[in-house]
Structure 1
Amino acid sequence: MIIAIDGPAASGKGTLARRLARHFGLNHLDTGLLYRAVGQRLRAAGLDPADEAAAVRMAETLDPTGLDPEALSGSAVGEAASVVAAIPAVRAALLDLQRRFAHTPPGAVLDGRDIGTVVCPDAEVKLFVTASAETRARRRHVDDLRIDPATAFETVLADIQKRDDRDSSREVAPLAAAEDAAVLDTTDLDAEGAFRAAVALVEEAMALK
């Protein structure tokens, strides 16, 4: 079974994906970490994330095992990830890796921005997890404060809105809900409520197969 989870930044899709994978006994891949890793490698090398040739080289040599979510957190890395994710050749370099992972038994939960539309359009279950920009910014602000206590909420909100615009307007694999995806709005849900709602949606989708 493949469960595809898409949604904008800080919508809660990553937390949901990890819990769903444990609940249903599936593998899990946070595809956003792949782009974050490429972006971070570019930043660490002093390179511009918009440098297509360098970004493609980083993507082609990326080892997806052992990626550290904590080391790849923060708005600066997220911004770099959003830039490299808009480069078609980078997406192509990482696409096959994601598909191989998804089809490895017993199946997988993948979360990202184009899983149900591009990476795994054949997924048995597709969820689109969203929340208001203000709610997502508050969630991201809490994380960013651990890294930089001086981070302003307004800065995080502006970053979220800029990323939303870039992700939804890029020419290749724009952020969008698949036509057959169930939409889960987590604006007014805590982590437990979102998880229960997601499990119900997965079970409902599987019952119809």
Structure 2
Amino acid sequence: MIIAVDGPVAAGKGTLARRIAERYGLKYLDTGALYRAVGLLVLRRAQDPADEANAIAAALDVDQIDLTDPELRDERTGNAASTVASIQGVRDALLDYQRNVANSRPGAVLDGRDIGTVVCPDAPVKLFVTASAEVRAMRRFEELKAKGVATTFEEVYADLQARDERDSNRASAPLVAAKDAHLLDTTKLDIEAALEKAYEIIDAR
């Protein structure tokens, strides 16, 4: 069983995907962490994330970054990840890794931006998790504030809009819901309510 969970930043897809994997005894892969690892590696090498050659070289060395490294969650890393993710060579370098996880037994839940459209287009269950930009920005702002990061809602909102723009309009694997994906809008849902809706969809399949 492969379950694809796509959606924009701060929509809640990561939390949903982890809980879904736990419930059904499947492996879990946060594919965004792979792109964050590439972005972080480029930054640690003091290189420009927009430089194609450097970004592809980092993608080929992605195993040098621990996917639990807390620096992966920094805003600077997130912006670098969004930049490198627009480079086709980076996506090509990471594609086999993602598909190998997806096709391992007993199955996997993958979350990202292009799981249902590119990585696993034949996944039997596809969820597209979204929420309004304002709600997503507030969630992200509260998360950063809890971590002691000095920022404002306005800064977070502007950053989120910029990342949405890059993710949705990039030439390579843009963020878009697969035609057969189930839309799950979490704007007015807490995590438990969103999970119940996801479980209904998965159990029906």
TM category, shorter: over 0.9
In structure 1, stretches of 5+ residues that fail to align are none
Shift of 1:64: 8.3
2:11 aligns to what?
Answer: 11
1:85 aligns to what?
Answer: 85
2:177 aligns to what?
Answer: 177
Is residue 82–residue 163 contact of structure 2 (8 Å, CA) maintained in 1? Answer: yes
1:118 aligns to what?
Answer: 118
- What TM-score do you get using the length of structure 1 for normalisation? 0.94
2:95 aligns to what?
Answer: 95
Is residue 41–residue 65 contact of structure 2 (8 Å, CA) maintained in 1? Answer: no
Per-residue CA deviations over 1:82-117 (Å, capped at 9, x if unaligned) read 000000100000001100110000000000000000
Shift of 1:32: 0.1
Shift of 1:46: 1.2
Per-residue CA deviations over 1:10-32 (Å, capped at 9, x if unaligned) read 00000000000000000000000
1:22 aligns to what?
Answer: 22
Q: For residues 60 and 68 of structure 1, what CA distance do their matches in structure 2 show?
A: 19
Residues 104-183 of structure 1: pairs in structure 2 closer than 5 A? 104-183=104-183
Query: Per the alignment, in what secondary structure is the counterpart of residue 3 of structure 1?
Result: strand
| Count, aligned residues | 205
Q: For residues 40 and 146 of structure 2, what CA distance do their matches in structure 1 show?
A: 18
Q: For residues 149 and 56 of structure 2, what CA distance do their matches in structure 1 show?
A: 34
Shift of 1:69: 5.8
Q: For residues 193 and 6 of structure 2, what CA distance do their matches in structure 1 show?
A: 18
Query: Per the alignment, in what secondary structure is the counterpart of residue 63 of structure 1?
Result: helix
- What TM-score do you get using the length of structure 2 for normalisation? 0.96
Q: For residues 50 and 58 of structure 2, what CA distance do their matches in structure 1 show?
A: 12
**How high is the sequence identity, in percent, across the aligned residues?**
58
2:199 aligns to what?
Answer: 199
Query: Per the alignment, in what secondary structure is the counterpart of residue 71 of structure 1?
Result: helix
Q: For residues 129 and 162 of structure 1, what CA distance do their matches in structure 2 show?
A: 19
2:39 aligns to what?
Answer: 39
Q: Which runs of 4+ in 1 moved over 6 A?
A: none
The root-mean-square deviation of aligned C-alpha atoms, in Å, is 1.4
Residues 48-59 of structure 1: pairs in structure 2 closer than 5 A? 48-59=48-59
Per-residue CA deviations over 1:146-170 (Å, capped at 9, x if unaligned) read 4444211101001111111111111
Per-residue CA deviations over 1:35-79 (Å, capped at 9, x if unaligned) read 001111111221111111111111112128841163311321111
Q: For residues 152 and 58 of structure 1, what CA distance do their matches in structure 2 show?
A: 31
Q: For residues 160 and 12 of structure 2, what CA distance do their matches in structure 1 show?
A: 14
Q: For residues 54 and 105 of structure 1, what CA distance do their matches in structure 2 show?
A: 34
In structure 2, stretches of 5+ residues that fail to align are none
1:63 aligns to what?
Answer: 63
Is residue 7–residue 175 contact of structure 2 (8 Å, CA) maintained in 1? Answer: yes
| Bigger shift: residues 126-135 or 143-152 | 143-152
Measured at CA, do residues 64 and 98 of structure 1 come closer, stay the same or move farther in structure 2, by a change above 3 Å?
farther
Letter of the aligned partner of 2:167 in structure 1? D
Letter of the aligned partner of 1:133 in structure 2? A
Q: For residues 88 and 7 of structure 1, what CA distance do their matches in structure 2 show?
A: 19
Is residue 34–residue 64 contact of structure 1 (8 Å, CA) maintained in 2? Answer: no
